[in-house]
Amino acid sequence: MNPFGRFDDSKREYVITRPDTPLPWLNYLGQDEFFGLCTNTAGGYTFWKDAKMRRLTRYRYNNVPYDLGGRYIYVNDGGSVWNPGWKPVKAKLDSYECRHGLGYTRIIGKKKGLEVEMLFFVPPGENLELWKVTVRNKSKTKKQPKIFTFQEFCLFDAANDMNNLQRTYSIGEVEIEGSAIYHKTEYRERRNHYTLFACTRPIDGYDTSRDAFVGIHEGLHDPKVPFAGKCTKSKAFGWNPIGAHQINLKLLPGQEETISFVLAYVDQGKEPKYDKLYVMNKKVGKAIVDKYSKPGAVDAAFANLGKVWMDLLSNFQAKSPNAHANRMLNVWNQYQCMATFNMSRSASMYETGIGRGMGFRDSNQDLLGFVHMIPSRARERILDIAATQLSDGTCFHQYQPLTKEGNAEIGGDFYDDHLWLVLSTCAYIKETGDVSILQAPCAYADQPDAKTDLLHHLEVSMAYTMKKRGPHGLPLIGHADWNDCLNLNCFSTEPNESFQCAGDVKGSNAESVMIAGLFLYASREMAALYDFLGHAADATRMRQGYDEMLNVIETQAWDGEWYRRAYDAAGTPVGSKENPEGKIFIESQGWCVLGGAGQNNGRAKQAMESVHKHLFTKNGVVLQQPPYSTYHVELGEVTSYPPGVKENAGIFCHNNTWINLGWCLLGDGDRALEYYLSICPSAKENQIETYRSEPYVYAQMIAGKDAVCFGEAKNSWLTGTAAWTFVSVAEGILGIKADYKGLSVNPCIPKAWKGFTATRKFRGVEYQIEVKNPNKICKGVKSVTVDGKKVAGNVIPFETGKKVVKVEITLEA
């Protein structure tokens, strides 16, 4: 079906069987603080914590070909030079296979009876990457292959590394000792860290100068040294430091050898910096190499990685009648949620690691798909994000992971940002019951000494939206809301200006219906939180705010068949039948419905039917219709894109999930699944030449029906789609949701499903859930049976003393 690969569900791997995939297909190594990007041809790079400020190896984005540079092994087998991952030499291989797994990538290439397997991974809790390289002689004759490694070092600050060549060409420094290469640029002055690239056994040569190893006029596809078959012992002095080892092997027929390499970020800590002038004290680095030089150490680390992922995923596992939903939910979607949690929008094939750091709204949303895996990390993240809020309620739109400091480089005054903090905090408390987070000290970015706590931030957030409203009583939009490209205060006529930074929001009256809907949702969350805390008056106050905003939405935002999207700075509606283009938008339908608007007057259903009629396609729901054909200075970036892509009527998968949740709320499980499958990458394997992106992770965008390339996906991996799809399937369709007083189960499934089973670990208890659907309905839980005993309603109360609880549910109309 898919000529490029297939899922191996039992191994939780995606197997790529041809290297020339329609786009580079990426995997991530690392789950804690040390990360690597690794494509199916071993391309990518490595960084510690922060892809901008601690980049360890180099990568040139938007290269030709796209993906060039990475963890390369060159094989010289009797003069024939090739890479097991095909690139960069691109010699024809007799066989190739890449297995992207959870935190690791294994690539096996074979040519003329020699097989080379490369396994790359980051051991849990370590600041290093291991390469296990196995060379097998599968021929009938003796072979003497030479193996060369290659990594180009980045001089740590990735932006400077690219654009300040007059300096960087002169500062590169390395040391070589034994089988280890130490990249120590800038160590002599202000850095207390270096990159170590070591082989765990004796080597037959090395190079540390790119000019020597690759050449000046050569490229990575024809580098001098591997073709010559001999390293030159070059010592980088300025220019471009690299790490290359040479290993000469002698393999009898059937014989194999394994060689391991360590690529580490080494913090010198309290150790003295130097042994003597120009000679680094290498104690910390040597200890790392020693650790992984012990027999079995690399294999043990790899086994541990598998166990860590088994444990993480065991918090939620389900078996439904739909194979796509199962493999995505049980493995790949949760895996992607780890990546978005760790990386936000910083480093992928589309995010260069120097542009966006951790996004305020992004990271709050990413947490929704992650909190059930490692709640303690979610707690820390919430407090980090909240600390980048300003005391008036607005937020730094992003912060740098290394320093945790907010910056306004990609703009500020996005008037939805602060509300997402309510959603993440409530999700965390529901998952853990840990209300102490609300009292955790948390200052404001502009008042670092303020003795405030997290709850104060939530209150300030709610108050901000309540207060900052426009002529229709709707919340002001600022530079943009969730839709970064709907810039109603920008009025940009300068080609080199960022739409998100230009323009002045002060005194503007542009309003957002989406923020109003999100506010409804957040108010309900706050009210329920206060109920749980026993603060009745506060809960009532939140409900009053809710009622007020609901009234505004119903009186000011209904367009006749759907909810309008916004009012621009001149008070003209956006997303209305009055507009010639951009008549209906997805976001306001999603959030008004999820916030509870239109529930008693039939509008919710009507808005959703309008989505179905005007926006739904077989490849997902387009963001709006009809697309803008010309640039509108009063609407901003959304009108800058060609019709059918990105925010101009592309299929923005992220917001599709809100509609899916809307169908669940309305009880239509058939539509919920149909919509889900329309953007599900696993379900795109039968149209992979069109879809092009990885079939195992969600993409931010699929080209919409107005685009020439309808169905083509882009911007995979780092997207809010990951967390929200998890929410829409686990909590929406399967209906399993952490709640303050217990685990709530309220599925909304397709009528044809006979039922499903799921395991959910929640606050130390494992719930084994079985849902039966003998009546062929979508939704309806009247009672649940917990270990044989009936419980009214659909919330399973906490069991004390039991580690495993059996839950049975029969759906009844």
User: In sequence order, what are the beta bridge partners of 132?
Assistant: 119, 260
The radius of gyration of the chain from alpha carbons, rounded to an integer in Å, stands at: 27
In whole angstroms, give the CA distance from residue 622 to residue 702: 9
Question: What track of x and - describes contact with ligand BGC for positions 391 through 430 (by CB under 6 A)?
Answer: -------------------x--------------------
500 contact choice in ligand BGC, ligand NOJ, none (CB below 5 to 8 Å, kind-dependent):
ligand BGC
Angle at Cα 359 formed by Cα 267 and Cα 731, nearest 5°?
110
Q: At its nearest, how many Å lie between ligand NOJ and the CB of residue 726?
A: 17
Q: How big is the site for ligand NOJ, counted in residues (CB under 6 A)?
A: 9
Nearest to 71 by CA among 105, 94, 23: 105
Nearest to 557 by CA among 524, 525, 522, 518: 518
Question: What track of x and - describes contact with ligand NOJ for positions 361 through 380 (by CB under 6 A)?
Answer: xx------------------
565 part of the interface to ligand BGC, by CB under 6 A: no
User: How many angstroms separate the Cα of 685 from the Cα of each of 22, 681, 692?
Assistant: 12, 7, 9
In whole angstroms, give the CA distance from residue 692 to residue 688: 5
485 part of the interface to ligand NOJ, by CB under 6 A: yes
| Residues from 148 through 167 that contact ligand BGC (CB under 6 A) | none
620 part of the interface to ligand NOJ, by CB under 6 A: no
Q: Is 619 within 8 Å of 678 (Cβ atoms)?
A: yes
Binding test (CB under 6 A) with ligand NOJ, winner from 336, 452, 483, 619: 483
Binding test (CB under 6 A) with ligand NOJ, winner from 100, 193, 345, 565: 345
User: Which long-range contacts link 502-507 to residues 24+ away (Cβ below 8 Å)?
Assistant: 503/479, 505/413, 505/476, 505/478, 505/479
Question: What track of x and - describes contact with ligand BGC for positions 646 through 675 (by CB under 6 A)?
Answer: xx----------------------------
Q: Is 759 within 8 Å of 316 (Cβ atoms)?
A: yes
Direct distance between the N- and C-terminal alpha carbons of the chain, in angstroms, rounded to an integer: 39
Q: Is 331 within 8 Å of 689 (Cβ atoms)?
A: no
361 contact choice in ligand BGC, ligand NOJ, none (CB below 5 to 8 Å, kind-dependent):
ligand NOJ
Q: Which of the stretches 358-366, 440-448, 500-508, 566-574 binds ligand NOJ when contact is defined by CB under 6 A?
A: 358-366
Q: What token pair was written down for 235?
A: 């010592």
Place of tokens 């700075």: 569
Q: At its nearest, how many Å lie between ligand BGC and the CB of residue 646?
A: 5
Binding test (CB under 6 A) with ligand BGC, winner from 77, 115, 173, 484: 484
Is there a cis peptide before residue 626, judged by omega within 30 degrees of 0? yes
500 part of the interface to ligand BGC, by CB under 6 A: yes
Q: Which residue number has the CB closest to ligand NOJ? A: 484
Catalytic residue list contains 417:
no
| Plot region of 269 (φ>0 → left; ψ -120 to 50 → alpha; else → beta) | left
Rounded (10°) CA dihedral 675, 679, 685, 689: 130
Closer by beta carbon to ligand NOJ, 126 or else 647: 647
Q: At its nearest, how many Å lie between ligand BGC and the CB of residue 411?
A: 7
126 part of the interface to ligand NOJ, by CB under 6 A: no
In whole angstroms, give the CA distance from residue 752 to residue 120: 43
Closer by beta carbon to ligand BGC, 103 or else 503: 503
Q: At its nearest, how many Å lie between ligand BGC and the CB of residue 334?
A: 24
The sign of the CA dihedral 486, 492, 495, 497 is: negative
Question: What track of x and - describes contact with ligand NOJ for positions 160 through 189 (by CB under 6 A)?
Answer: ------------------------------
The sign of the CA dihedral 300, 301, 306, 310 is: positive
482 contact choice in ligand BGC, ligand NOJ, none (CB below 5 to 8 Å, kind-dependent):
ligand NOJ
Binding test (CB under 6 A) with ligand BGC, winner from 135, 347, 485, 703: 485
| Residues from 193 through 232 that contact ligand BGC (CB under 6 A) | none
Q: Which of the following is catalytic: 50, 484, 559, 668?
A: 484
568 part of the interface to ligand BGC, by CB under 6 A: no
362 contact choice in ligand NOJ, ligand BGC, none (CB below 5 to 8 Å, kind-dependent):
ligand NOJ
Q: Which residue number has the CB closest to ligand BGC? A: 484
Strands annotated E in 364-426 = 396-399, 406-412
In whole angstroms, give the CA distance from residue 14 to residue 8: 6
Q: Which of the stretches 172-180, 483-491, 500-508, 729-737 binds ligand NOJ when contact is defined by CB under 6 A?
A: 483-491
In whole angstroms, give the CA distance from residue 161 to residue 805: 55
In whole angstroms, give the CA distance from residue 102 to residue 108: 17
Closer by beta carbon to ligand NOJ, 118 or else 490: 490
In whole angstroms, give the CA distance from residue 334 to residue 320: 16
Q: How big is the site for ligand BGC, counted in residues (CB under 6 A)?
A: 7
Binding test (CB under 6 A) with ligand NOJ, winner from 30, 103, 359, 644: 359
User: Residue type for 591, please?
Assistant: W
Q: At its nearest, how many Å lie between ligand BGC and the CB of residue 647?
A: 6
Interface residue list for ligand NOJ (CB under 6 A): 345, 359, 361-362, 482-485, 647
Interface residue list for ligand BGC (CB under 6 A): 410, 484-485, 500, 637, 646-647
The residues annotated as belonging to the active site are 484
